[in-house]
Structure 1
Amino acid sequence: MSVIQKIRDKYAAVVIAVIALSLIGFILMDAFVGRGSGMGSRSTVVGKVNGEKIDHNEFERKINVAQTMYGQQARREQLIGNVWEQTIDEIVMKQAYDELGLQFTDKELNDVLFGPNAPQWLKNEFTDPATGEFKVNDAKAYFANIKKQQNNPNLEMFQEVYILPTISQGLRQKYMALLSQSAYVPKWMAEKTVADQNAIASFSYVAVPYSSIADTAIKVSDDDVKAYINKHPEQFKQEEASRSISYVSFNATASAEDTAAILNQLSTLRDEFATTTDNEGFINRVTSEIPFFDGYTQGSKMQMSNADAIRNLANGEVYGPYIDANNFVLAKMIDRRQMPDSVKVRHILVKTGEQGRETLSDSIAKARIDSIQRAIQGGADFNSMVVQYSDDQGSKETRGEYDFSSTQFGGLSREFAEVAFYGKTGDKRVVKVENASYSGYHYIEVLNQKGFEPAFKVAYLAKPIDASQSTINAASAVASQFAGSSRNKKQFEENANKQGLQPLQIMDVKPNDYAVPGLGENRSLVRWIYENKAGDVSEPFEVGEKYVVALITGVSEKGLMSVSRARPSAEPLIINEKKAQQIINTKFKGGATLEAIAQGAGQTVQRADSVSFAQPFIPQIGNEPKVTGAAFNKSLQGKISEPIAGNSGVFVVRGESVGAQANTGINVEDTRRQMEMQYKQMSGYRSMEALKKAAKVTDNRFDFY
């Protein structure tokens, strides 16, 4: 189906209510006027970008639009994050466009919509399937005709999904073109690059690895970490606040008694399941984690546990109980047949309704489909009938044809699927379909069927292995008792030790997280962490199949990390710094020659030949930029360097030679053009990332979500 047809089907019979050329100026104005104005009180401001407010009502509207677009499969918490990032991007880029005076006029929008490179969603609707020609005049006339539908509630959706992104894309292309044309690489830069790529060096060195000193021999104080953070602020800068916790958990999973009770329940249902003739009714009455599927599945597609045993059941025979995932399952063979793996059909659809709303009376629709069937039987061209009568707009471009695999069976209307997969090639049938999206009549012709193999209809009665309420209550009571007696850090740690519980650490909980990293989803727990202070102990929170009691162990505000937050990454670096100083003080006490230095350090002189400047990997050492830099330092040729604290140890280097590889055939002008092209390609993206990074963003989402 076409994009517009999908919108009609999905969004309550959406009619394309976009404003035609005379109203495009209004669309442009509405795209930018009033956004983020934040006219209400402070409590309605969900954030600011460079001082421009993001109103909560407008932000919520965008979330709802996104939810409608992506459906229930899109989690709301994910949409909140996505809409937030999109809103920041929109505001930052709009500010850049305004500063540069960039505009996207109504004429430019007209050219994009109705020009030779019209968007695909528009071409899909107004392209002649016979000739492939985009019918521009038809598109313009259609737009002009629907401009009277300004009160259509789906206008906002269509504008948000198609028109505004088209405008945004046009402005972004202008911005990126402006920046890319400013990129230029002079010849001298290309010459220097070619020279660097060809440069090689040989040198001798003495190395004492950090591993020669045990990490446990080095002590790192909080003052050491703090000093290191202040010395390397960019390395320990965090863009938003974070907190760390320690927690203990109390399992509320099913006990042995719970498991036995569930198994016994399933066993008592086994005989009735085996003898019933109304399998679907029985499954619905007793409830099952695996819903009844009134269809066949090819044997090769049966990927569940015990598939071989199930395929070998006789009709009416029951297998189990067996465990599949977290369920006890009974499987009953109902029937088997041969079934194709793929089918090709063509059809014509006459709809009687959409989204529960009648669009054509059933009697008229039935008479029309019968007339179509007679016309085709009498020799009428099938494709002509599709173009003239089918209400499936998407299939008009493919002569009404569709290819389906057997895995798509469950996603099709049952009546349609049964003709395609259970019939035979050449079958021509009229079927009536009623589902949540639409109702109507299909005339279906089965063109081809391939990949036949045995297929099975199986009913599954599955009961989850869940904890009983008594088990849950018991776990909750133990967790509550622990929390009640652990009101501070000291008590928390003492009680954990007494009960043999090992507290686990989580270092990076963000204020807008919906899940605690490594633990699970619980927005209430995240909110508690940010509504309390370091040292506080929580009441039990239910996370998955456990109760969690948390202790806030650290608070890191936006900016430089706290000592506790930075220690895990800073400590190894500080240890190496201290090791380096110790090695320099004890191993490299002097020596006029490299050989004398090696003897004093208890090491041997080693040599590296033809190390490339462009790819400075040193054999037996690895990546040591400082060592490579010393090797290419012409002032150190034939001389001994000062001790160099590298990534893996301390080095003393003696340069031997610096030269160039033999002519590799690299063309300077080709290199210059390639470099310039890379800069042009990167300039737009890098500049947009830089704008967003430099933007002053105030995030108040925690106050609303």
Structure 2
Amino acid sequence: MSVIQKIRDKYAALVIAVIALSLVGFILMDAFVGRGRGMGSANGSIGKVNGEKIERNDFEKKINLQTAMYGSQAPQREQLISSVWDQTVDEIVMNQEYEKVGLQLTAKELNDVLFGANPPQWLSQQFTDPQTGQFNVNQAKQYFAQIKKQKNNPNLEMFNEAYIQPTIDQALRMKYMALLGNSSFVPKWLAERTLADQSSVARFSYVSVPYATISDSSVKVTDDDIKSYIQKHKESFKQDEAVRSVSYVVFNASASRQDSAKILDQVNSLKSEFAAATDPETYLARVSSETPYFNGYTLGSKLQVPNADTIKKLAIGQVYGPFIDGGNYTLAKMIDKRTMPDSVKVRHILIKTAEKGQPTLSDSIAKKRIDSIAAAAQSGADFNALVQKYSDDQGSKNTKGEYDFTSSQFPNLSKEFAEVAFYGKPGDKKVVKVENQAYSGYHYIEVVDQKKIEPAYKIAYLSRPIEASQETINTANNAASQFAASSRNNKQFTENASKQHLPVLSVPDIKKNDFQIAGLGDSRQFIRWIYENKTGDVSEPYELGDKYVVAVVTGESDKGLMNVAKARPLAEPLIINEKKAQQIISTKFKGTTLEQVAQSAGVGVLHADSVGFAQPFIPNIGNEPKIAGAAFNKGLQGKMSEPIAGNTGVFVIKGENISAVPNTDMNAEQLRKQLEMQQKQMGGYRSIEALKKAANIKDNRFDFY
């Protein structure tokens, strides 16, 4: 049955990884675990990390390994390139740091990691006793002893990279973070001071004039203003890598109304023929239905299609539709109805006659053997003993031949096996023959239990995708080509877009190695064009999904400090507030008392009470750290402050009182321990991030991908 193969496929990485653990047999014999990975290739370097090369050949191996591990769920290659790059940079930075501080993982430590109280998940899954739920360390060690002899297994290197090395890397990382964490210390005086600060509250009076009283349009911000602001606040305007920006227009090549109507007519024309078809599977294959035929039943509660309630009420042979399902026009035909469980428990024994097309046992001998097994089981023989002695399904030996399935797994099971499990009843005992690509053979199956029985439906769907016609595609392509031909610079691009009433969309911060653009999806070749051209260049039409895109490069910003154009959206609002503050201070704040300042500004004197030091949120104002800080300034108690430019306006305050609210929830020692724990938890993570940020990284991926 294909389910056995599915289960094996699912856990194949685990099973083969265990085979790969023969490497551990050799590793555990060494005094220390080596860190080298055999870097070096004639295929070119795609980057360097602190002088250490990342060879393309090794990088490709990692991408291929990730692809194999993900299987059918693998992300797109561009995504893997990005994630493998980040992983590789992290590995190199950390390995260099381990070597610098002399950090190693000994053979004994690796042994403890693998066979201790908390083994890696991939290992514990393989050797957990189903009876006790406990990791069977002796079984794992025995298995290692057996596979230690498999020196020539070609998969060992691959699975060492997939499982063993990551386990070693994780153990070293934990040691490194523990090393940093154990260096953390919070003195008692700091905890006492922090506790006192957290308990402090202030009361003050203030006068404020919001920035909103002056319109933004009345304040002019020049390029020189931006440059000056950038120089004063360099850290806020640094960028770790170069970015570019583009503007683009879109020419829609999706299905038109006429295309949709034509496809609807096609589906309608097949309705009577579909209703009359006696063999739905053959018919749907002949008319090329977008939805393949599933020759099985779906529980009513799991029927995830539009108009499901209406479809369930169809008589057998009746057809409903057309209706839109996703991007298709669809007809639904009721083929049959029955009841079916949502979940089943079965136990079985498998005798194979072939595996992957290679004969393993003659059909006649296999049939006699399974019949004998069936007779013995039905006569009361110990089922688990029969499983251990005869079954060719290694995946179920640890579960006494038992499997639990849900109805959602039905399509993945071999038809003969699934029908016994789901269409029979508890207590049924049958022998079935199964043939599929993975293996052929006989199953003896006993249905142990079934749960949640409800109506189920066998439904055939005839669907056609709502796609653009070639005429629609050509029209969009021609329009895009004409636009590009007449728009050879930014000015022409903007003028033509305005004449044709085409919305111009903009995308900032496109990085050299990005593979997607928001709103356009996967667009690696388009991004390459952006970086192979310069500001003002206009592209030829790019086909992205169901649209044609024509773009113009609107900006380039190199690594380091942002240029004026890039920084303006960030800096301009802040500079406007600074200029407004200067204007407010020079024109509205006059006098030597709070009341005089209020009269000069044309506002009243306001009061704030119980403002906390730990959470400086001021009622009716919001988050104003500068104002809260001034309120707790003992030098301003009973005195008026100078004007303070805050986040929302300009303030003048007068401190009235600083007091404390007793904190009954925590004492100084409890707070000290809490702060120290936070340092330990965050110290390791922040240190690793700092190492990567400080690393000298040269990224050449653009030259290869």
Number of the residue aligned with 2:151: 150
Q: In structure 2, what is the Cα distance between the partners aligned to 1:344 and 1:6?
A: 21
1:18 and 2:21 matched = yes
Q: 1:691 maps to what in 2?
A: 691
Residue 27 of structure 1: CA displacement? Answer: 8.9
Q: Which amino acid aligns with 1:327?
A: N
SS state at 2:323 partner: strand
For residues 16 and 371 of structure 1, do their structure 2 counterparts lie closer, same or farther at Cα, with a shift above 3 Å needed? Answer: farther
Contact residue 3 and residue 121 of structure 1 kept, 8 A: no
Q: Distance in 1 between matches of 2:542 and 2:441?
A: 50
User: What is residue 534 of structure 2 aligned with on the other side?
Assistant: 533
Q: Which residue of 2 aligns with 1:80?
A: 81
Alignment partner, residue 669 of structure 1: 669
Which consecutive residues of structure 1, in runs of 5 or more, have no partner in the other structure?
Answer: none
- Taking the TM superposition and a 5 Å limit, the aligned residue runs for 1:338-349 are 338-349=339-350
Q: 1:261 to 1:460 in 2, by over 3 A?
A: same
Does the 8 Å CA contact 2:33/2:105 hold for their aligned counterparts?
A: no
Residue 20 of structure 1 deviates from its aligned partner by 5.4
C-alpha distance in 2 between matches for 1:591 and 1:401 = 88
Cα distance, 1:49 vs structure 2: 0.8
Alignment of 1:36-47 (within 5 A): 37-38=39-40, 40=42, 44-47=44-47
Q: How does 1:550-629 map to 2 (within 5 A)?
A: 550-588=551-589, 590-629=590-629
CA contact (8 A) 1:349 1:392 kept: yes
Q: What does residue 459 of structure 1 align with? A: 460
Match of 2:682 in 1: 682
Matches within 5 A, 1:327-476: 327-356=328-357, 362-476=363-477
Secondary structure of the residue aligned to 2:27 is helix
Return the offset for 1:357.
5.0
- 8 Å contact 1:46–1:700 — kept in the other structure? yes
- Larger deviation, residues 630-639 vs 669-678: 669-678
**Structure 1: distance between partners of 2:360 and 2:598:** 92
Q: Does the aligned pair in 2 maintain the 1:535–1:551 contact within 8 Å?
A: yes
* Secondary structure, counterpart of 1:452 in structure 2: strand
Equivalent-residue separation in structure 2 for 1:321 and 1:2 (angstroms): 38
My pick for the range that moved more, 564-573 or 188-197, is 564-573
Alpha-carbon deviations, 1:387-446, whole Å to 9, x = none? 444444444443333333222222333222222211111112223334444444333222
Q: How far apart are 1:34 and its partner, in Å?
A: 4.6
Aligned partners of 1:10 and 1:623: how far apart in 2? 53
Displacement after TM superposition at 1:335 (Å): 0.8
CA 1:646 to 1:361, structure 2 compared with 1: closer, same or farther past 3 Å?
farther
> For structure 1, which segment, 362-371 or 539-548, has the greater mean C-alpha deviation from structure 2 after superposition?
362-371
Deviates more, 1:292-301 or 1:481-490: 292-301
Specify every segment of 5 or more residues in structure 2 that has no aligned partner in the other structure, as ranges: none
Of 255-264 and 651-660, more deviation after overlay is shown by 255-264
Contact between 1:129 and 1:396, CA under 8 Å: does it hold in 2?
A: no
Q: Say if 1:519 and 1:221 are closer, same or farther in 2 by CA, change over 3 A.
A: farther
Which residue is 2:235 aligned to?
Answer: 234
Report % sequence identity: 64
Structure 2 vs 1, CA of residues 393 and 202 (structure 1 numbering), >3 Å: closer, same or farther?
A: farther
- Tell me the equivalent position of 1:481: 482
Find the aligned partners of 2:160 and 2:188 in 1 and give their Cα distance: 48
1:11–1:194 CA distance, 2 compared to 1 (3 A): closer
Asked whether 1:298 is paired with 2:328, we answer no
CA contact (8 A) 2:294 2:460 kept: yes
Over 3 Å counting, the alpha-carbon distance change for 1:31 and 1:85 in structure 2 is: farther
Judged with a 3 Å threshold, the aligned counterparts in structure 2 of structure 1 residues 223 and 266 are, in CA distance, closer, same or farther, namely: same
CA 1:593 to 1:445, structure 2 compared with 1: closer, same or farther past 3 Å?
Answer: same
SS where residue 487 of structure 2 aligns? coil
Q: For residues 367-398 of structure 1, give each alpha carbon's deviation from its aligned partner in whole angstroms, at most 9, with x where no partner exists.
A: 44333322211112223333444444444443
Superimposed CA distance per residue, residues 673-704 of structure 1 (whole angstroms, 9 cap, x where no aligned partner):
11112211222112111111111111111111
Q: 1:633 aligned to 2:633?
A: yes
Look up the SS of the partner of 1:16 in the other structure.
helix
Distance in 2, matches of 1:174 and 1:253, equals 55
- Judged with a 3 Å threshold, the aligned counterparts in structure 2 of structure 1 residues 231 and 244 are, in CA distance, closer, same or farther, namely same
Give the aligned residue type for 1:307: A
Instruction: Tell me what 1:189 maps to.
Output: 190
Contact 1:20–1:140, Cα closer than 8 Å, also in 2: no
For residues 257 and 25 of structure 2, what CA distance do their matches in structure 1 show?
72
Q: Is the 8 A contact 2:14 2:126 kept in 1?
A: no
User: Is residue 5–residue 438 contact of structure 2 (8 Å, CA) maintained in 1?
Assistant: no
| 1:28-65 per-position Cα deviation (integer Å, ceiling 9, x unaligned) | 98963254x4454xx71111111111000000000000
Amino acid at match of 2:45: V
What one-letter code is carried by the residue in structure 2 that aligns with 1:605? V
Give the CA deviation at 1:291: 1.5
Residue 294 of structure 2 aligns to a residue whose secondary structure is coil
Trace 1:109-124 onto structure 2 (pairs within 5 A).
109-124=110-125
Query: Residues 387 and 587 (structure 1 numbering): CA distance in 2 closer, same or farther, change over 3 Å?
Result: farther
Mapping of residues 173-184 of structure 1, within 5 Å: 173-184=174-185
Q: Distance in 2 between matches of 1:396 and 1:253?
A: 53
**Contact 2:28–2:111 (Cα < 8 Å) also in 1:** no
- Secondary structure (helix, strand or coil) at the match of 1:431 reads strand
Give matches, 1:262-273, under 5 Å: 262-273=263-274
Q: Comparing 136-145 with 54-63, which one deviates more in the overlay?
A: 136-145
Summarize deviations over 1:571-597 as a string: whole Å, max 9, x none. 222222222222112221x21111111
In structure 2, the partner of 1:208 is: 209
Cα shift at 1:227: 2.0
Report the Cα distance in structure 2 between the residues aligned to 1:420 and 1:486, rounded to whole angstroms.
Answer: 66
Q: CA deviation at 1:128?
A: 5.2
1:546 matched to 2:550: no
Distance in structure 2 (CA, Å) of the matches to 1:577 and 1:133: 66
Question: CA separation in 2, counterparts of 1:417 and 1:3?
Answer: 13
Q: 1:119 Cα shift? A: 3.4
Q: Is the 8 A contact 1:345 1:448 kept in 2?
A: yes
Q: TM-score, normalised by structure 1?
A: 0.94
The number of aligned residues is: 701
Q: In 1, Cα distance between the equivalents of 2:448 and 2:393?
A: 18
**Cα distance in structure 2, aligned partners of 1:613 and 1:108:** 47
Match of 1:276 in 2: 277
Match of 1:660 in 2: 660
C-alpha offsets along residues 87-116 of structure 1, whole Å, 9 cap, x if unaligned? 111101101100111111233223333445
Give 1:565 shift.
2.0
CA contact (8 A) 2:29 2:107 kept: no
Q: SS of the residue aligned with 1:512? A: coil
**TM-score, normalised via structure 2 length:** 0.94
**Contact 1:17/1:147 (CA < 8 Å) preserved in 2?**
no
Q: Which moved more, 1:306-315 or 1:476-485?
A: 306-315
Distance change (3 Å), C-alpha of 1:165 and 1:330 = same
Distance change in 2, residues 1:311/1:5 (3 Å): closer
Q: Does the residue aligned with 1:451 lie in a helix, a strand or coil? A: strand
Amino acid at match of 2:220: K
Give the AA of the match of 2:621.
I
- Matched position secondary structure for 2:674: helix
Measure the CA separation in 2 of the matches of 1:512 and 1:626. Answer: 41
The secondary structure found in structure 1 opposite 2:387 is helix
1:419-477 Cα distance to aligned partner (Å, 9 max, x none): 22111111122233344444443332222222222211111111111111111011101
Secondary structure of the residue that 1:314 maps to in structure 2? coil
**Could you report, residue by residue, the CA deviation over 1:142-164 in whole angstroms, capped at 9, with x for unpaired residues?**
33333343332211232122211
- Residues 8 and 671 (structure 1), Cα distance of their counterparts in 2 relative to 1, 3 Å cut: closer
Q: C-alpha distance in 2, partners of 1:284/1:418?
A: 23
Q: Offset at 1:18? A: 3.1
Distance 1:567 1:437, change over 3 A: farther
